[in-house]
């Protein structure tokens, strides 16, 4: 596209070009066109324009009512639009005003905002951002799939990409070009209340899944900008509570927490959101080393860095590293922040402009950030259509998008135990006869299956749940038939008397088995911080009481973090981890329980047996000195199917030595002795026998998913690039050391010698 025409269109006023239809695909524009265009825009901007561009406010700030307390129905406020978007020139707005909207409402909101933005002198459209973290979380009736922890359990990166492409289609169809997703924090502590927002405990799995999600959002048919969050080290606060101090040595930061961000930056992610916490006494929002030296200079990230919610203000109000708001702004911007998610005051752009006029921040520093912000706006095509939403008639057909979410839900469900200890035969699948008692506090709640960021921030209000999607018990009725299901409803806070009622109902008629829906109701962020990671005592008492009747107990856990339940797990004949599977999760659970779907999920974290014994699969040898030291309830990668698939015959095809830089090929044989086809995830761990930094017992090195037909034997090969067998050395740089390595799949181990180049 011709730059001079573009520039000319721009300068005829944005309202005009908002209506100009220019359909050149964003990906086909040349880098130099983009740079010329951005320079031409930048050269016309005042300091106030630039400060405005670097400001992001919540939607509440332009709606009728006050922040966190909008008048219903939510609607734009003309005076505030003028003040915020025209006078203060605010360049970005985020989220909903507290709850989800229908697509038509989104169109009205986005359209109204962009019309107002077009009236300011620069006419630059607003970059609208939202947390569509498991589908369109803030669009009523949108397609909601599993939360990230469930997506990770599928171990299917291609499926995650499709799911993310579909999510992007719906988000963009509302006129929103920017998504605050994926979470690339590595979940190392079950207490952390955002555990479920992650892809689990393995740096490699988080990296691979993260790259797929970024590509899904940014490279699908309706691309939107992804956000890598929360950069970095957010998931490992010492107390386990949200936004509390972390102490993470640089080696561990680089070994565990940085690689997913590095991989996703490499994959082209457009934006990064910063960790709200502090690491080693320094709030990340003022950490020049993390925000500039590592992110920009080392990783070469050229996109936009946005703060998290109110985090510049917190520098003086909570962290106490700045004397006042103005100091805080100076510190954060000079550390490397491009845009402040303010989000509820109008002082930020004013103070930022003042700081430049006073010479405390050079204007060139603003130019750097504004270039990046305009770059994202340009890439998202906002200068072509003024950021106006597409026609509502073009809103995607839900039926076309549901398949990805439904398949992801099915593939996430993880069968962790199926012993049938009381019935002598496997408890699952439930056969086609007999009464099934369904109970437990998560049995009849769609919210419990979706988790936080669903309809509302905390995801707790059923008013905003997707109409027509079943709860677990409703799906069980559909699959097993109404007459077989007896539902004993329980709220979260159920009492001993309620348990007695359940037992009465159980005993009232012969009952084949009880399916007990355990877990947690939705929460996120600080609201989900907990003093105690053990499963709630009333849920444990319920399992004990049902078990005492002699009825087989099948536990289904709907929740995003592993609560300890060592006392009752032995009482369960079968145990199914459902995570937070989303709107299609109930069907998926019912299909797994009935055997209509052969489960294939694999646990993306280690489920601790005891609260004080949470180790991860990549723990150190000295953490496993005795037999009992690493004895989790379930291991990373655990998951059964209704077939028996044996793994044998590990071989390193590439020989017993390999030179650094070469790829090692490993083969194993899978034999499905069952009578059902089975989707198997072959998980390969590397074991560095001797290293200059104490090696982990196991490191996830590669994984591959195959379908092994019933009765079939097949060989599967996996590739391990030896460049990936390194670690962060004593000088905090990445090294690969020669020496002996083991490669393990289940109990199969082969060794090879890694030779220096
Ligand atoms: C969360 C982020 C989120 C942002 C915007 C913050 O409180 O930490 O994950 O993207 O709010 O909603």
pLDDT at 217: 98
pLDDT at 503: 98
User: Does the beta carbon of 95 sit less than 6 angstroms from any atom of ligand 1?
Assistant: yes
Q: What is the DSSP letter of 660?
A: B
User: Does the beta carbon of 309 sit less than 6 angstroms from any atom of ligand 1?
Assistant: yes
User: Does the beta carbon of 131 sit less than 6 angstroms from any atom of ligand 1?
Assistant: yes
Quote the ligand 1 centre to 88 CA distance (angstroms): 23
pLDDT band at 334 (very low <50, low <70, confident <90, very high): very high
The values of phi and psi at residue 592, to 5°, are -70, -45
What six digits make up the tokens of 225? 């900008």
Contact status, residue 382 vs residue 37, Cβ threshold 8 Å: no
Which protein residue's CA is at the shortest distance from atom 6 of ligand 1? Answer: 309
pLDDT band at 626 (very low <50, low <70, confident <90, very high): confident
Contacts of residue 494, Cβ cutoff 8 Å, sequence gap at least 6: 441, 538, 542
Residue 13 has pLDDT above 50, yes or no: no
pLDDT at 600: 98
Please report, rounded to a whole number, the percentage of residues in the chain having pLDDT higher than 70.
95
Which protein residue's CA is at the shortest distance from atom 11 of ligand 1? Answer: 309
CA distance 126 to 116: 9
DSSP assignments along 220-274, one per residue = SSS--B-EEEEETTTT--TTSSTT--B---HHHIIIIISHHHHHHHHTT--EEEE
pLDDT band at 439 (very low <50, low <70, confident <90, very high): very high
User: Does the beta carbon of 137 sit less than 6 angstroms from any atom of ligand 1?
Assistant: no
pLDDT at 420: 66
Q: What is the mean pLDDT of residues 358-372?
A: 98
User: Does the beta carbon of 319 sit less than 6 angstroms from any atom of ligand 1?
Assistant: no
User: Does the beta carbon of 229 sit less than 6 angstroms from any atom of ligand 1?
Assistant: yes
- Bridge-based pairing state of the strands 65-66 and 69-70: antiparallel
- pLDDT tens sequence across 641-669: 999 999 999 999 989 999 999 999 999 99
Quote the ligand 1 centre to 452 CA distance (angstroms): 12
Contact status, residue 88 vs residue 349, Cβ threshold 8 Å: yes
Alpha helices, H only, 358-451 = 363-379, 382-385, 398-412, 446-450
Of 193, 227, 307, 308, which is best to mutate to test ligand 1, by the most ligand atoms within 8 angstroms of its C-beta?
308
pLDDT at 19: 34
Residue 9 has pLDDT above 70, yes or no: no
Residue 398 has pLDDT above 50, yes or no: yes
Quote the ligand 1 centre to 250 CA distance (angstroms): 25
pLDDT at 30: 77
Q: What is the mean pLDDT of residues 45-55?
A: 98
- Bridge-based pairing state of the strands 645-652 and 663-672: antiparallel
pLDDT band at 7 (very low <50, low <70, confident <90, very high): very low
Residue 470 has pLDDT above 70, yes or no: yes
Quote the ligand 1 centre to 415 CA distance (angstroms): 32
Residue 733 has pLDDT above 60, yes or no: yes
CA distance 555 to 576: 6
* Strand order across the beta sheet in which 271-274 lies: 227-231, 271-274, 304-306
pLDDT at 80: 98
Of 147, 273, 344, 457, which is best to mutate to test ligand 1, by the most ligand atoms within 8 angstroms of its C-beta?
273
Average pLDDT, the chain: 94
User: Does the beta carbon of 308 sit less than 6 angstroms from any atom of ligand 1?
Assistant: yes
The values of phi and psi at residue 669, to 5°, are -110, 130
Residue 377 has pLDDT above 90, yes or no: yes
Contact status, residue 445 vs residue 462, Cβ threshold 8 Å: yes
Please report, rounded to a whole number, the percentage of residues in the chain having pLDDT higher than 90.
93
| Helix or strand (DSSP H, E) at 104 | helix 103-117
Q: What is the mean pLDDT of residues 557-569?
A: 97
pLDDT band at 625 (very low <50, low <70, confident <90, very high): confident
pLDDT band at 424 (very low <50, low <70, confident <90, very high): low
pLDDT at 612: 84
* Strand order across the beta sheet in which 436-439 lies: 414-418, 574-579, 553-558, 513-519, 436-439, 485-488
Catalytic (active site) residue 629: no
Residue 700 has pLDDT above 50, yes or no: yes
Q: What is the mean pLDDT of residues 26-31?
A: 59
Quote the ligand 1 centre to 526 CA distance (angstroms): 11
Of 67, 68, 93, 131, which is best to mutate to test ligand 1, by the most ligand atoms within 8 angstroms of its C-beta?
131
Quote the ligand 1 centre to 132 CA distance (angstroms): 11
DSSP assignments along 661-712, one per residue = TBEEEEEEEEEE-SSS-EEEEEEEEEEESS-SSPPBS-EEEEEEEEEE-TT-
Give the distance, in angstroms, between the CA of residue 620 and the centroid of all CA atoms in the same chain.
27
b/e burial code for range 243-255 (CB count within 10 A of at least 16 → b): bebbebeebebbb
pLDDT at 229: 98
Reference 67, options 90, 46, 39, 97; nearest CA is 97
Residue 631, exposed/middle/buried by CB under 10 A (0-12, 13-18, 19+)? middle
Contact status, residue 190 vs residue 604, Cβ threshold 8 Å: no
Residue 149 has pLDDT above 80, yes or no: yes
CA distance 318 to 428: 51
Reference 275, options 399, 186, 400; nearest CA is 186
Among the listed residues 60, 189, 287, 308, the single catalytic one is 308
The values of phi and psi at residue 742, to 5°, are -100, 150
Residue 27 has pLDDT above 80, yes or no: no
User: Does the beta carbon of 310 sit less than 6 angstroms from any atom of ligand 1?
Assistant: no
Quote the ligand 1 centre to 409 CA distance (angstroms): 24
Query: Of all atoms in ligand 1, which is nearest to the CA of residue 343?
Result: 5
User: Does the beta carbon of 242 sit less than 6 angstroms from any atom of ligand 1?
Assistant: no
The gap between the terminal CA atoms of the chain, to the nearest Å, is: 47
Residue 14 has pLDDT above 60, yes or no: no
Query: Of all atoms in ligand 1, which is nearest to the CA of residue 133?
Result: 10
- pLDDT tens sequence across 210-257: 999 999 999 999 999 999 999 999 999 999 999 999 999 999 999 999
> How many CA atoms, within 13 angstroms, populate the side-chain half-sphere of residue 529?
13
User: CA separation (Å) from 100 to 74, 130, 137, 298, 580?
Assistant: 10, 11, 7, 39, 19
- pLDDT tens sequence across 602-619: 999 999 999 888 899 999
What six digits make up the tokens of 104? 């038509």
- pLDDT tens sequence across 74-105: 999 999 999 999 999 999 999 999 999 999 99
pLDDT band at 29 (very low <50, low <70, confident <90, very high): low
């Amino acid at each position: 596209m011709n730059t001079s025409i573009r520039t000319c269109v721009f300068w005829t006023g944005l309202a005009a070009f908002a209506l100009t239809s220019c359909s050149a695909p964003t990906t086909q524009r040349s880098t130099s066109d983009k740079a010329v265009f951005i320079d031409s825009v930048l050269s016309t901007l005042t300091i106030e324009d630039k400060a405005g561009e670097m400001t992001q406010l919540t939607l509440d700030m332009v709606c009728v009512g006050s922040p966190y307390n909008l008048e219903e129905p939510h609607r734009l406020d003309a005076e505030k639009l003028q003040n915020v978007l025209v006078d203060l020139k605010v360049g970005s707005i985020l989220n909903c005003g507290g709850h989800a909207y229908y697509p038509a409402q989104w169109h009205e909101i986005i359209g109204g905002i962009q019309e107002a933005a077009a009236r300011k002198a620069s006419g630059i459209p607003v970059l609208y951002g939202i947390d569509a973290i498991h589908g369109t979380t803030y669009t009523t009736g949108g397609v909601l799939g599993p939360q990230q922890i469930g997506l990770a359990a599928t171990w299917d990166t291609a499926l995650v990409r499709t799911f993310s492409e579909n999510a992007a289609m719906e988000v963009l169809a509302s006129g929103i070009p920017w998504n605050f997703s994926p979470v690339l924090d590595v979940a190392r502590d079950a207490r952390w209340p955002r555990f479920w927002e992650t892809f689990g405990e393995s740096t490699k799995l988080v990296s691979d899944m993260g790259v797929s999600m970024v590509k899904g959002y940014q490279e699908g048919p309706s691309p939107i900008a992804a956000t890598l969050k929360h950069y970095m080290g957010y998931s490992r606060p010492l107390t386990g509570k949200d936004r509390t101090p972390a102490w993470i040595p640089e080696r561990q930061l680089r070994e565990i927490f940085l690689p997913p961000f590095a991989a996703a930056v490499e994959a082209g992610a457009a934006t990064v959101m910063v960790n709200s916490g502090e690491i080693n006494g320094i709030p990340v929002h003022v950490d020049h080393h993390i925000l500039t030296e590592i992110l920009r200079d080392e990783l070469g990230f050229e996109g936009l860095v946005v703060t998290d919610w109110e985090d510049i203000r917190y520098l003086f109000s909570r962290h106490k590293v700045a004397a006042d708001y103005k100091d805080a702004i100076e510190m954060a911007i000079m550390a490397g922040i491009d845009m402040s998610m303010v989000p509820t005051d109008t002082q930020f752009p004013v103070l930022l402009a003042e700081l430049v006029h006073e010479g405390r921040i050079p204007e060139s520093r603003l130019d750097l950030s504004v270039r990046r912000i305009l770059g994202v706006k340009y890439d998202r095509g906002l200068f072509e259509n003024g950021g106006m939403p597409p026609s509502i008639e073009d809103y995607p057909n839900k039926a076309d998008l549901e398949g990805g979410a439904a398949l992801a839900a099915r593939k996430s469900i993880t069968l962790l135990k199926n012993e049938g200890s009381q019935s002598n035969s496997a408890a699952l699948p439930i056969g086609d006869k007999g009464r099934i008692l369904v109970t437990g506090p998560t049995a009849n709640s769609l919210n419990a299956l979706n988790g936080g960021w669903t309809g509302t921030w905390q995801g707790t209000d059923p008013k905003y749940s997707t109409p027509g999607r079943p709860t677990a018990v409703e799906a069980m009725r559909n699959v097993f038939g109404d007459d077989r299901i007896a539902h004993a409803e329980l709220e979260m806070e159920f009492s001993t008397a309620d348990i007695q009622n359940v037992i009465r109902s159980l005993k009232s008629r012969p009952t084949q088995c009880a399916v007990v829906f355990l877990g947690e109701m939705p929460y996120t962020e600080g609201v989900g911080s907990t003093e105690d990671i053990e499963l709630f005592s009333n849920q444990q008492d319920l399992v004990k009481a049902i078990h005492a009747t002699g009825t087989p107990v099948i536990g289904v856990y709907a929740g995003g973090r592993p609560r300890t339940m060592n006392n009752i797990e032995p009482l369960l004949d079968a145990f199914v981890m459902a995570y937070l599977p989303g709107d299609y999760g109930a069907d998926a659970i019912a299909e797994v329980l009935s055997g209509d779907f052969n489960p294939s999920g694999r646990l993306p974290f280690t489920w601790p047996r005891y609260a004080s014994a949470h180790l991860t699969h990549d723990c150190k040898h000295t953490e496993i000195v005795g037999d009992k030291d690493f004895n989790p309830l379930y291991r990373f990668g655990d998951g059964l199917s209704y077939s028996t698939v044996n793994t044998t015959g590990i071989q390193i095809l590439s020989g017993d030595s390999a030179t650094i830089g070469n790829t090692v090929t490993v083969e194993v044989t899978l034999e499905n002795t069952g009578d059902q086809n089975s989707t198997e995830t072959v998980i390969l761990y590397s074991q560095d026998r001797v290293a200059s930094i104490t090696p982990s017992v196991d490191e996830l090195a590669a994984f591959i998913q195959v379908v092994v037909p019933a009765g079939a034997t097949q060989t599967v090969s996996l590739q391990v690039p030896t460049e990936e067998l390194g670690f962060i050395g004593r000088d905090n740089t990445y090294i690969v050391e020669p020496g002996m390595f083991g490669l393990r799949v289940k109990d199969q181990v082969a060794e090879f010698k890694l030779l220096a180049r």
